[in-house]
Amino acid sequence: MGMKILLKYGAFNLVLLLLLTFLLIWITQKIILTPEFYENSGDPLSGVPGQGGSILDMMQKWVYISAAIYLLFKLGCITLILHTALYLNNQNVSLSSIFKIATLAEYLFLIPAAIKIATFTSTYHGGNLLDWHRYYIFSALLLFKEIPADWYYALQSLNLFEVLYWFLLGYLIKQISSLSFDQSLRIVAVSYIPALVIWISAVTFISLLMFPSTG
């Protein structure tokens, strides 16, 4: 019953997801990614001392816009991938229903983002920008002390919450289709996971091409 109510308010869930994402970005910029943090990391936002705040203010609106575009793009891609997989398995599920479950499942990734903000300063005393990019709770990246920056994204993507996301997607697919949980999980395994591997490989490959010295 509760899940049906959540699925009913798709637009509200999407707006709330965006607002919570913006809130986490705002908190990050206020308590961690400050002008002083960039300067201490050796990456000042401005060549003029004391001007970093104005540069950061100009950057903020683009951070919010890019975050919203990325989130909508991600949800749209996941919706199309799952819709195709379900169609090939003789499941007549609307795009809007799949978009709703994709939106609900995305809430899971707010948890590691919030944990990262809450624990970064205690984990990295005097941490810098490189530490911030490296840090992702329960990810494979934390198993490596020295690793080229181009591999950060791939290893961060291998994390506990990503695996939980697969099972959550399977559970939600079960709610909107006639498939069992095992069958729904199989849909995720043959559609979303291969697409994720391709995406990670593409991002890593492009990073290596653009920044070969860091790979």
Q: How confident is the model at residue 152 (pLDDT cuts 50, 70, 90)?
A: confident
Concatenate the DSSP letters of all residues of 31-99 into one string: HTS-HHHHHHTT--S-SSTT-HHHHHHHHHHHHHHHHHHHHHHHHHHHHHHHHHHHHHTT----HHHHH
- As a whole number of Å, the end-to-end CA separation of the chain is 50
Tens-place pLDDT, residues 73-115: 999 999 999 999 999 999 999 999 999 999 999 999 999 999 9
CB 141: neighbour CB atoms within 10 A? 19
Element housing 109 (H / E)? none
Would you say 166 and 188 are in contact if contact means Cβ atoms under 8 Å apart? yes
Q: How confident is the model at residue 205 (pLDDT cuts 50, 70, 90)?
A: confident
Calpha distance 202→215 (Å, rounded): 14
Tens-place pLDDT, residues 173-187: 999 999 999 999 999
Would you say 5 and 100 are in contact if contact means Cβ atoms under 8 Å apart? no
Q: What is the pLDDT of residue 48?
A: 47
Say which range, 45-59, 99-113, 121-135, has the weakest mean pLDDT: 45-59
